[in-house]
Chains A and B, each alone.
Chain A
Amino acid sequence: MMKKPNNMMLQTLARLIILVVLSFSIYLMLAGHNSPGGGFIGGLMTASAILILYLSFGLNPIKKVIRFDFIKIIGIGLLLPGVTGLVSIFLGDSYLKQYFDYFQIPLIGEVELTTALPFDLGVYFVVLASALTIILTIAEDDK
């Protein structure tokens, strides 16, 4: 590895780029249940944003900032869709039946809330965490 590389350009741009990428990835995740997007693509995009951070600032500095245990995030992500599906069983419908309604939320206005959202959120977590786990495992192998 190079000693003290001069990557000021990269680091300055990375700060800008990940802002765009992260917000777009969250938009995609939220849009997913009835328009293009979804938990899978949103998760991949967030993973790529975090990956840009790792690339430009190095593995260890970012590890000090992002202190999540990604493996546990995979577990939580798996639980979310499973439990969301169970809700409809307790309401007396078929498994995975989805519900939606419109709500007035202050400042935002009318919003459609669906049970597909926690399902997608679970997918988002699984994809994000497994992509990062794979990449970080390979990166740590290098030493």
Chain B
Amino acid sequence: MNNIIILPIIIPFIIGGILILLYKRHTMQRIISGITMLALLALSIFLAIYVHQHGTIVLEVGDWEAPFGIVIVADLLSTLMLLLSTLVGTVCLFFAFRTVSRDREKQFFYPLYLFLMIGVNGSFLTGDLFNLFVFFEVMLISSYGLIVHGGTGYQLRESFKYVIINIFASALFIVGIAWVYSITGTMNMAHMAERVSELEQTGALNIVAIILFIVFACKGALFPLYFWLPRSYFGPPAAIAALFGGLLTKVGIYAIIRTFTLIFNHDTSFTHKGLIVTIAGFTMLLGVLGAVSQFDFKRILSYHIISQVGYMVMGLGIFTPLAVAGAIYYIAHHMIVKTALFLFAGATQKITGTTDLRKMGGLIGTHPWLAWMFFITAISLAGIPPLSGFFSKFPIILAGFEEQQYVISAVALLVGLLTLFSMMKIFSYAFWGKQKHTEEQAKIPVGKLLLPILPLVALTIILGFAAEPIFTYSMEVAEEIMDPTNYIESVLKE
């Protein structure tokens, strides 16, 4: 039974191999990859329910006992992240069927897509720090492939920077891993947590914590390491930009949450309430200021990823169960809404042929469904009740005031206001006003494009109206990860 948690990693691996064998037949590739993603979605729903009912599942790969072998661990946080990532992956894949051109499909689009899912799922499930590095690399190498996919000049230039910054971060990751191994003598995260608590996280261990934080901050686009994000997410087609915007930074955030709740949680006044909260404040503020200054649909959305990653990290930094639960709820809300918004950007680009807001206008007259669905998602992002954005910001800011973190809470409120401003800017430029696209463009149907986005829009409404049970669930997740003894005991079987 424990073997079931390896399936989210091994299914895309085997199917990816089969897709390489079928590389000349792209219709076949579409069908197989579509079925695979739906199966993964069903599997991750099952896993989320199973783990919620029966507790953490641990798999010792190859029957090598922890802490010596590699463990795969599925606890509440992992399965929730797994569910969200496969949901985003499925939606983006079905959107890609309609938008990615034949030439790009032929160049191993679907195998790369599935390999990316291996990396993401593996990062969420692994219980071993070095394995986390390996899955990060699997994810990054596939993302290098996808981000240059199509090979336009702009893509090549910007992905070069993306590759360089990520290789730098990976090198630093190895340094951090080597250092923490030299101090604690283990790679198993549960075992490491035990030993760090025996050593009381002082001196060198704090430095290692900061090194790992820098690494994950780089992948998660935190201040001041976010500069690569807006430009590199601008190049690739909408389905890929949406997948990256929804997934990749959140893997970095997951790694921060995992390491700073499980391992490095003994000096919270320095790491959490000092460092992480400060970084979160700058990330939110500078990200949203970047968004306000832009006049491009995709770039505004990319800058908003940065500002919202700040909220999640702020929730972790305040480090009360309420705040962490808020951060988890925020991740769920953000992955759903941000993916939907990027896909809307793709749909409008398909109609108008541009992402420049000043060249758009009057879409609400010709494509009312697109406009209203975008409107719902946009105000959800800005945090208007009763949509999910409100219920994700509220507990974080509430916890901030409870913990007397007034400055950061005020910043969070201001950022919410500016988010509303820039979302309204998109809405009023692109959808209101005089029609700027031609009559032929006005006749382009987008119904089939909107169909894959529909579940995401429905989910942001459901997350808002059913906030009570979903927030109870996030509280459970938060309480479980705030108290790492459960994780340590299930891995080491003490």
Contact = CB atoms under 8 A, between A and B. Distances in A.
Given A72-B20, A75-B21, A94 B14 contact: no
Interface string B238-258: 000000000000000000000
Contacts of A95: 3, 6, 10, 59, 61-62
A33 interface: no
A79 B2 CA distance: 22
B16 interface: yes
B23 interface: yes
A96 B21 contact: no
Contact of A78 (B13, B59, B60): B13
Given A71-B23, A74-B20, A95-B6, A79 B61 contact: no
A83 B14 CA distance: 8
24 contacts: A72-B20, A72-B21, A72-B23, A75-B18, A75-B19, A76-B17, A76-B21, A78-B14, A78-B16, A79-B17, A82-B14, A88-B62, A89-B3, A89-B6, A94-B59, A94-B60, A94-B62, A95-B3, A95-B6, A95-B10, A95-B61, A95-B62, A97-B62, A98-B62
Nearest to A78: B17
In which size bucket is the chain B interface?
Answer: 10 to 19
A96 B18 CA distance: 20
Given A79-B14, A82-B10, A83-B14, A94 B20 contact: no
Top 9 closest A-B pairs, CB basis? A75-B20, A78-B17, A75-B21, A79-B17, A82-B14, A96-B62, A95-B6, A94-B63, A89-B3
Contacts of A82: 10, 13-14, 17
Interface of A: 71-72, 74-79, 82-83, 85-86, 88-89, 93-98
A127 to B, nearest CB: 15
Nearest to A79: B17
Where chain B touches its partner, the secondary structure class is: helix
Given A94-B2, A96-B61, A78 B20 contact: yes
B18 A79 contact: yes
Contacts of A88: 62
Contacts of B16: 78
B137 to A, nearest CB: 15
Contact of A97 (B10, B17, B21, B63): B63
B32 to A, nearest CB: 13
A79 B6 CA distance: 16
A77 B19 CA distance: 13
B305 to A, nearest CB: 32
Interface in B1-57: 2-3, 6, 10, 13-14, 16-21, 23
Nearest to A81: B13
Contacts of A72: 20-21, 23
A67 to B, nearest CB: 16
A7 B189 CA distance: 58
A119 B446 CA distance: 47
B26 to A, nearest CB: 14
A89 B11 CA distance: 13
Contacts of A89: 3, 6
A75 B20 CA distance: 5
A86 B62 contact: no
B63 A93 contact: yes
Nearest to A80: B17
Given A94-B60, A94-B62, A96-B62, A85 B21 contact: no
A85 B6 CA distance: 10
Given A74-B20, A95-B59, 10 more contacts: A77-B17, A78-B13, A78-B14, A82-B10, A82-B14, A89-B6, A93-B63, A94-B59, A95-B3, A98-B62
Contacts of B10: 82, 85-86, 95
A75 B17 contact: yes
Nearest to A88: B62
A75 B10 CA distance: 15
Contacts of B3: 89, 94-95
A93 to B, nearest CB: 6
A95 B61 CA distance: 6
A72 B21 CA distance: 5
Nearest to B23: A71
A98 B61 CA distance: 10
A71 B3 CA distance: 30
